[in-house]
Amino acid sequence: MKIWKGFGSEHSMNLVMIGKFKNAGDAEKAKRIIDLITKQVQADMESGAITIGARPERYTDGMMELCRELNVFDVNTVEVEQFAYDISVKHIRDTISITTDESDVSAYLKILVAQGARVEVFSAHFYTEEDDERKESTQE
């Protein structure tokens, strides 16, 4: 009997990305940008304008118009498909917390940083947000 030892694309990353902003308004704006791009990607997928994994060279007309409207030009055409992945985005006050099993999250990082966030990225396999909260409360 052979036992397979290795990792494939099905390996769960259990990634957490936390963006901490100077104020709640900046966090709200970043969340709005993420939501609008996600909505546009879904519309583009439903219309057949994009196919996940196809590595498009150009934005769809809808995505180009949205990027102009939002003043978002850091996310490239290949990264756009990240908004179709199974990712949870939570906004609480001045913080956005993103959790996913994906490792390809550069588009989210770019949006958070462009909107002024200080970003922390880690694997919840090794660390939890509660660990940091306990550490902060003991330092105060």
pLDDT in tens, 69-115: 999 999 999 999 999 999 999 999 999 999 999 989 999 999 999 99
Domain that holds residue 88: 15-124
Q: Looking at the domain assignment, is residue 129 inside a domain? A: no
Instruction: Report the domain count for the chain.
Output: 1
Q: Looking at the domain assignment, is residue 1 inside a domain? A: no
Q: Look up residue 110 and give its two tokens.
A: 């770019």
Q: Looking at the domain assignment, is residue 51 inside a domain? A: yes
pLDDT of residue 76: 92
Q: Looking at the domain assignment, is residue 132 inside a domain? A: no
Q: Which residues pair with 97 in a beta bridge?
A: 18, 90
Residue 18: is its pLDDT beyond 70? yes
Per-residue CA distances from 53 to 45, 57, 139 (Å): 12, 12, 46
Q: How many helices (H) and strands (E) does the chain have?
A: 4, 4
Residue 6: is its pLDDT beyond 50? no
- Residue 73: exposed, middle, or buried by beta-carbon count in 10 A (0-12, 13-18, 19+)? exposed
Q: Looking at the domain assignment, is residue 117 inside a domain? A: yes
Q: Looking at the domain assignment, is residue 131 inside a domain? A: no
Q: Which residues pair with 60 in a beta bridge?
A: none
Q: Looking at the domain assignment, is residue 54 inside a domain? A: yes
**CA dist., res. 81 & res. 100, Å (int):** 14
**CA dist., res. 84 & res. 127, Å (int):** 26
- DSSP state letter for 84: G
Q: Looking at the domain assignment, is residue 5 inside a domain? A: no
